Amino acid sequence: MRVLTLVGARPQFVKASMLSRAFRKQDVEEILVHSGQHYDKKISQVFFDELGIPQPSINLGVGSAPHSMQTGTIMVSLEAFLESIDSISCLLVYGDTNTTLAGALVAAKMNIPLVHVEAGLRSFNSAMPEEINRVITDRLSNLLFCPTQTAIDNLSREGIDNGVYLAGDVMYDATIHFAKLALEGKEDSSNNPFESGQYYLTTIHRPSNTDNPEMLSSILDVLNELDCPILFPAHPRTRAILDKLQKIPPRVAIIEPATYLQMLTMIQEAKAVITDSGGIQKESFWLKKPCVTLRSETEWLETLAGGWNKLVGSDLNLIHEFLSNAPSKNKSQVPFGKPNKSTIASEFIANTMSDYFG
């Protein structure tokens, strides 16, 4: 089996670290292509170094651009690369980014079987670019590996039943694998000025929160009024927007983007997490930290179980209300989405692909 894996953003690097490891155990030939969607070293190359991911065969170097231009540029470059190499068994994509959509469209145009890891997720908010990317990718996929039963049900309602598997979550594999290692290497997160349990961790990057300066300022003002200071590792795009604000509240400490291991350490040592990131919602759930989600909806309904994750939308007063009464214990007995099987998600996916493609 010869697999071309297309990645381009932080969460995809994390997921690829586990599935690439599973492929190597089976002597599967993997060609790793980096779209360059995330290009800053702090949120790109450092993940390859830190997580032991094989270096990409090529970086398409798309960089930052409007959605259509970014997607189109990846498509043109990816198609040219595919025409330059020997045939592959399939093209594998993760999640819901512009990189994912571009890979799905190229696979369809070139009649290459498509594998979608993290299929079936739905926010039911068509204003989110990610939602469009998910729906189209699922429609074009031959193998759809779902992290949760909810995702399976979403696909079934849309008439997609063939090639669908409940695989569990490869990001759960990574979280459990790297969480202890992260704490053991705490010196790597020395840019955190706060003691364990004495801060809230926040990440904000979605356009709905960052592209409206008044909304972003309101969020920061509310965070500044909480009972603990705020640790805010800012994505370069968010940092550029923050730099344009007239004033950053004094109890909000903005630091450089965190590596994956640094972020796992910060989550484990935070009092709670405040984010608009889907991946960090899950990591907080698995690492038993209460989470406030700065959105009106989530693809990860399982994180809402037991009130562990709270959607606040634009009602920012709910942030203080939730954190004042946050649950003290995550009663979840098993990670959501993990099937009752001995193999972890990444190994299940690799095994299933090997059986399918031979």
Please give the full DSSP string across 220-269, using - where no structure is assigned: HHHHHTSSS-EEEE--HHHHHHHHHSS---TTEEEEPPPPHHHHHHHHHH
**First-residue to last-residue Cα distance in the chain:** 6
pLDDT, tens digit, 9 for 90 and up, residues 62-94 = 877 788 999 999 999 999 999 999 999 999 999
Backbone region of residue 7 per phi and psi (left: phi > 0; alpha: psi in -120 to 50; beta: other values): beta
Provide, for the chain, the percentages of residues in helix, strand and coil under a 3-state DSSP scheme, each rounded to the nearest 5: 45, 15, 40
Contact 125, 39 (CB under 8 A): no
Strands 272-275 and 252-255 come out as unpaired
Catalytic residues: 205
Looking at residue 141, its amino acid is S
pLDDT, tens digit, 9 for 90 and up, residues 254-297 = 999 888 899 999 999 999 999 999 999 999 999 999 999 999 99
Instruction: Show the domains of the chain with their CATH numbers.
Output: 2-169+338-357 (3.40.50.2000), 180-324 (3.40.50.2000)
Q: What is the mean pLDDT of residues 4-14?
A: 92
